[in-house]
Copies of this chain bind each other. A is one copy, B any other.
Amino acid sequence: MYICLMYSNELIKGTLKTIVLSLLAKKGRMYGYEITQHVKEETDGKIQLTEGALYPLLHRLEAEGLLETEKENIGKRVRKYYRLTETGNDQATSLAAEFHEFSQTMNRLLNNFSLKPSYNV
């Protein structure tokens, strides 16, 4: 996977966990590759996760008890599906809320961009 982010990529740091957990909260269960593709499509390629960041994270989250896995055979290949545990679901909710709060705080700090029409989608 060759990555060319539109963002200077610094911003993604620290939000990866939030993205993954929120996505799983929405979708129920997903496998790694599916997550990368979904994020890419939903953000028009603006956010692209690298495998080197994603897989270790998924393993960490599973070790922490936030995720559960089940393997599924697709032909001769194995897919590893992840789903949220109850704890994981709580985390997903609070991280998403936290990000939202944070982005509000940041936008206020960065000159109240949210009040400038030209910056709204």
Chain A interface residues (CB < 8 Å from chain B): 7-8, 10-15, 17-19, 22-23, 25-26, 39, 42-43, 46-47, 95-111, 113-114, 119, 121
Contact = CB atoms under 8 A, between A and B. Distances in A.
A43 B119 contact: no
B43 A110 contact: no
- When all copies of this chain in the complex are counted, the total is 2
Contacts of A103: 103, 106-107
A19 to B, nearest CB: 6
Contacts of A14: 10-14
A110 B99 contact: yes
Given A13-B13, A99-B11, A22 B108 contact: no
Contact of A100 (B47, B97, B101, B107): B107
A105 B22 contact: no
Contacts of A25: 111
A81 to B, nearest CB: 20
B108 A99 contact: no
A121 to B, nearest CB: 5
A39 to B, nearest CB: 7
